[in-house]
Amino acid sequence: MSADPAPAPLVFPNRPIPAKARLRRPVRLPDYLPARMLNEFVYCPRLFFYEWVEGVFAHSADTVEGSLRHEKLGEKTDEMPGPGATDERIHARSVTLTSETHGLIATIDLVEGEGDRVSPVDYKHGAPRERDGALEAWPADRVQVCVQALILRENGYRCDEAVVYYNATKQRVRVAIDEALAAETIDALTRARAVASAGVVPPPLVDSPKCPRCSLVSICLPDETRAAMTWSGAEPDTTLQLELFDAPAAGALPIVADEEVRRLVPARDDLRPLYVTGYNFSVGKSNDVLQVREKGQLVQEVRIREISQVSVFGNVSLTAGAVQALCEAERPIAHFSFGGWFYGLTQGLGLKNVFLRQEQFRRAEDEAFCLRVAREIVASKIRNQRTLLQRNHVEPPARAIDALRRLARQALEAGELETLLGLEGTAAHYYFANLAGMLKVDDDAEQPAFDFTRRNRRPPRDPVNALLSLGYSMLARDLTITCHAVGFDPFIGFYHQPRFGRPALALDLMEGFRPLIVDSAVITAINTRMVTRDDFMQVGPSVALTPKGRKRFITAYEQRMDALVTHPLFGYRVNYRRVLEIQARLLARVVTGELPRYPGFETR
């Protein structure tokens, strides 16, 4: 093996990285780049950046099947004989070798050959490429096996050919390792390291057939990002794309207005939250199953892989085994008081990427940036309050409707955060003053408990405020979990300023969804008699839900979260829980500079 140091792959040939693409702090990555990551870069530079630089990964059916196949292949690891050490046939499985010259590492599924002449064999899940009536390996696969061949050469072997085995068609496709392919591979390696070192996420592919089956499509949001660019009036920096991302490969084409946004993200999440509410409950674990017991008696069992989170209310105990299993599976545990006050989360390590949080902290110190984001947040909230009044009020008050329209427009022009707070407060006055008109309770139905005059909390003094407070606590929980999943610190906001114990960013994201999710769930629960006056109890000056009433309102809240809604910017239908994640990821795009404006979520 050569002892020469690896060349510094931080610039293109005769083309330095553009100054605007450099990070404030250089990204420090491992010394060796895996061959699989170079495959990802050729396939999609954006996918490579998320996986290699930011450490983001998500499974799909294809990746699970592929990982299981490679896990089976790696069950037995063979030692490679030295070059020329034997004349016998070489058949070595799961061989890991490195290249010091190029800073590469590869685990080769199979190495076969004789003496010092060998060929790497790489197993792929899909089918080969068919072109002009002939079968050939895909470009990304060609580069990956070329990396393996170059590493074998550096370790003293002769390697002029590689094999890609495509499992879907059970075919072996041979790849000649010639000078042209080697040069193409080294160029891809140089560009991949430049992209990684610059720390700038490559642009999304354009209408690519690769996206629908990509495991990271709901994180990448390719069509959504481009649609948001169109909405904000932003044009892609084609100079930067050509220099840094190789525009033809990255699909960096001009943005076209009215591009169709494909619904590549699932409409709903198959996972469901688990609520444990009541006295004398405990949660334990048996294998991969959570067991909920009441006074020692088993009352419910649920598989950990089928739940998204666990919410416990009041004095519920969890065994160490249950907590450890939930942390390992990245299923957060949300802790509430018996009255519904959200205390906090217990969760695993979560997303280990710190780059978004670095930018978040930096942006939070930028008053102009905070104001730009806060304007969109407050304007969207006021418009959604206005929409809810128009939809649900028995006779929408013209004065309040006109005032909310005017306040939303003024919010987009506000010159400081204090002004926005005043506008938001004025809008809340008009909105809550007319909320009672959305509660369609008959006067003769013995429901005076649902008379509503104004918003109050800590403690809530009437049933409607008790429902609103519990709903807002649950929504704050969901958005705190979403912030962690995306990579944000939920305690550093842009509109809500830091305060001890307050998840400011979760509250930022929450503002526009208060009327659409919580208020709507409260109105539905009351108007459909899901909750009645018997579901509340008076404790001094405060009003709280009974355990039975809390279960009923939780059902109303979860039904609202699962309701499908048409995204106003993208045109496809997804449920509100998925919308929360999409909006958080769009805000992340704004924080990292990929989008200039935050598109708030508004229904029509």
Summarize pLDDT for 473-495 with one digit per residue, the tens: 999 999 999 999 899 999 999 99
> Tokens standing for 550?
């809390």
| DSSP state letters, 546-567 | -HHHHHHHHHHHHHHHT-EEE-
Contact 215, 60 (CB under 8 A): yes
Contact 546, 458 (CB under 8 A): no
Residue 449's pLDDT is: 64
How many residues does this entry show for the chain? 604
Paired with 106 in beta bridges are: 97
Contact 192, 33 (CB under 8 A): yes
The order of strands in the sheet holding 281-286 is 297-303, 289-294, 281-286, 317-318
Residue 533's pLDDT is: 86
Contact 109, 142 (CB under 8 A): no
Distances in Å between the Cα of 304 and the Cα atoms of 56, 274, 278, 283, 483 are: 22, 10, 21, 12, 22
pLDDT at residue 447 tops 50: no
* 388, 519, 509, 545 alpha-carbon torsion, rounded to 10°: 180
446-460, 503-517, 546-560: least confident range: 446-460
Report the distance separating Cα 125 and Cα 132, nearest Å: 23
pLDDT tens readout for residues 234-260 = 654 444 444 444 443 333 444 444 567
Among the listed residues 195, 184, 190, 108, the one whose alpha carbon sits nearest the alpha carbon of residue 151: 108
10 pLDDT tier (thresholds 50, 70, 90): very low
Q: Which residue has the higher pLDDT, 339 or 564?
A: 564
Q: pTM to 2 decimals?
A: 0.83
DSSP state of 80: P
Report the distance separating Cα 175 and Cα 221, nearest Å: 34
pLDDT at residue 284 tops 70: yes
DSSP state of 604: -
How would you classify residue 103: left for phi > 0, otherwise alpha for psi between -120 and 50, otherwise beta?
Answer: left
Contact 160, 152 (CB under 8 A): no
Domains of the chain: 19-196 (3.90.320), 198-250 (no CATH), 272-346 (3.100.10.20), 355-591 (1.20.120.920)
Give me the helix-helix angle, 547-561 and 520-527, nearest 10°: 120
Contact 89, 115 (CB under 8 A): no
Residue 565's pLDDT is: 92
75 pLDDT tier (thresholds 50, 70, 90): low
Cis? peptide before 459, omega within 30° of 0? yes
Contact 404, 371 (CB under 8 A): no
* Helix (H) / strand (E) containing 158: none
